[in-house]
Amino acid sequence: MKNMIPVAMSNRHIHLSQEDLDILFGEGYQLTKMKDLSQPGQYACEEKVDIVGPKGTLKGVRILGPVRTHTQIEISVSDGFVLGVKAPTRDSGNIEDTPGAKIIGPKGEVEIEKGIIVAARHIHMHAEEAKQFEVKDKDIVNVKINGPRGLIFNNVLVRVSPSYALEMHVDVEEGNAAAIKNGQMVELIK
């Protein structure tokens, strides 16, 4: 089948800067890889933290590695209600004017000023695949999901990089709204 892409659901998670990791887990702390993710070099860690917002707490939020330049928390819309923050839908890395929170680790706490987003649905792909699908980096496409909860996601961002493996990412609410199973094939339509 043409233009088929595997899809994966992302649960809430956090990316930490080394500076914040040091405060939360101790100076010079190294993250412990639990398992590799589909994107090369990315991995889920054994370590978890609590995220505290004005209205409530998300306990045991998993850290994804490796460390990044800026700490970023990716949640669902429902998680935002639990925390009591209004997180905008954003592409990863675009955290200007987003809400912050308190992060609690085993060795310390960090208050971040910004960094909470609802991740915009997107497709990772390699340049070879972009060529095959006739799309380019930053294109906005549509993706069709079949089945009893079938739907067409509009506003799906294409992200092309030599370091990416082909995969569409949605959050848990988007996945459940479409009754998606991880690894299911979905169709890119333009």
Q: Which of 13, 15, 121, 169 binds its own copies (CB under 8 A)?
A: 121
Asked whether position 82 contacts its own copies by CB under 8 A, the answer is no
Contact 73, 61 (CB under 8 A): yes
d(CA 30, CA 32): 7
Q: Which of 149, 182, 183, 185 binds its own copies (CB under 8 A)?
A: 149
Contacts with its own copies, 153-172, as mask; x by CB under 8 A: xxx--------------xxx
Asked whether position 173 contacts its own copies by CB under 8 A, the answer is yes
Q: Which of 59, 150, 163, 190 binds its own copies (CB under 8 A)?
A: 150
Q: Which of 71, 72, 76, 98 binds its own copies (CB under 8 A)?
A: 76
Pairing of strands 109-112, 72-74: unpaired
Asked whether position 13 contacts its own copies by CB under 8 A, the answer is no
HEC-encoded secondary structure of 46-93: EEEEEEECCCCEEEEEEEEEEEECCCEEECCHHHHHHHCCCCCEECCC
Q: Which of 176, 182, 183, 185 binds its own copies (CB under 8 A)?
A: 176
d(CA 24, CA 46): 14
Q: Within 10 A of 189 (CB to CB), how many other CB atoms are there?
A: 12
Point out which residues bind its own copies (CB under 8 A): 76-78, 89, 120-121, 148-155, 170-174, 176-179
